[in-house]
């Protein structure tokens, strides 16, 4: 038996057994759920401005509230269901980043707070924070140079 024939047979088998994903439906769900998250953020922003806060403070409050809500929804296992339904629509806003930090922390809680929660919480966030600091420092040096 030729290995190429075996690979082709296996690929045919996989194609028969795996369902095709509805791309248009997934894109629409991702679009409207991500948009809904942004609308909620904009509503909070406008409410803060209405209460007399300036633009920077309002933006900070929006970020804090959205991170808090996504962390609570992740802890209640609701955010994961929303993520399965909406896909990347939940990952693009800041809520996806909060989910990426809280999920590993909850998963490794049984290993203890230091070695489990403390170390696993930054498996996704760690590289993001490191590269942000590196790029910020490079940008700051670039601006200072000119």
If you average pLDDT over residues 9-32, what whole number do you get? Answer: 84
**Residue 13 exposure: Cα atoms within 13 Å on the Cβ side:** 6
Whether residue 1 is contained in a domain is answered as: no
The one-character DSSP state at 112 is -
Give the model's confidence band at 22: pLDDT under 50 very low, under 70 low, under 90 confident, else very high. Answer: confident
Q: Tell me how far CA of residue 2 lies from CA of 5, 7, 8, 40, 70, in angstroms.
A: 5, 9, 10, 58, 52
Check if the beta carbon of residue 108 is closer than 8 Å to that of residue 117: yes
Q: Do 30 and 79 fall into the same domain?
A: yes
CA-nearest of 75, 93, 77, 78 to 30 is 93
Q: Do 79 and 135 fall into the same domain?
A: no
pLDDT above 90 for 51? yes
pLDDT of residue 9: 83
Q: Do 72 and 118 fall into the same domain?
A: no
pLDDT of residue 55: 93
| pTM for the predicted model, two decimal places | 0.65
Q: Do 46 and 84 fall into the same domain?
A: yes
Compare 77 and 136 and report the one with higher pLDDT: 77
Q: Do 27 and 92 fall into the same domain?
A: yes
Q: Do 55 and 93 fall into the same domain?
A: yes
Domain assignment of residue 136, given as a range: 108-146
Q: What percent of the chain has pLDDT over 70?
A: 65
Q: How far apart are CA 93 and CA 39, in angstroms?
A: 11
Compare 17 and 127 and report the one with higher pLDDT: 17
pLDDT of residue 54: 92
How many C-beta neighbours within 10 Å does residue 6 have?
Answer: 10
Q: Do 129 and 91 fall into the same domain?
A: no
pLDDT above 60 for 7? yes
Q: How far apart are CA 25 and CA 94, in angstroms?
A: 23
Give the model's confidence band at 119: pLDDT under 50 very low, under 70 low, under 90 confident, else very high. Answer: low
pLDDT in tens, 66-116: 988 888 888 888 888 888 888 877 776 677 777 777 777 666 555 665 555
Q: How far apart are CA 1 and CA 21, in angstroms?
A: 33
pLDDT of residue 44: 95
Q: How far apart are CA 47 and CA 43, in angstroms?
A: 6
């Amino acid at each position: 038996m030729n290995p190429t024939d075996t690979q082709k047979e296996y690929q045919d088998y996989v194609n028969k057994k795996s369902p095709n994903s509805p791309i248009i439906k997934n894109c629409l769900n991702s679009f409207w759920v991500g948009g809904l998250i942004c609308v909620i953020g904009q509503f909070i922003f406008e409410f803060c401005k209405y209460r007399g806060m300036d633009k920077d403070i309002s933006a900070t409050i929006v970020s804090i509230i959205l991170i808090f809500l996504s962390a609570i929804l992740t802890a209640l296992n609701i955010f994961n269901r929303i993520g399965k339904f909406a896909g990347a629509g939940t990952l693009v806003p800041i809520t996806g980043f909060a989910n990426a930090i809280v999920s590993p922390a909850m998963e490794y809680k049984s290993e203890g707070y230091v070695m489990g929660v403390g170390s696993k919480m930054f498996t996704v966030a760690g590289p993001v924070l490191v590269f942000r600091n590196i790029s910020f420092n490079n940008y700051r040096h670039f601006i200072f140079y000119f």
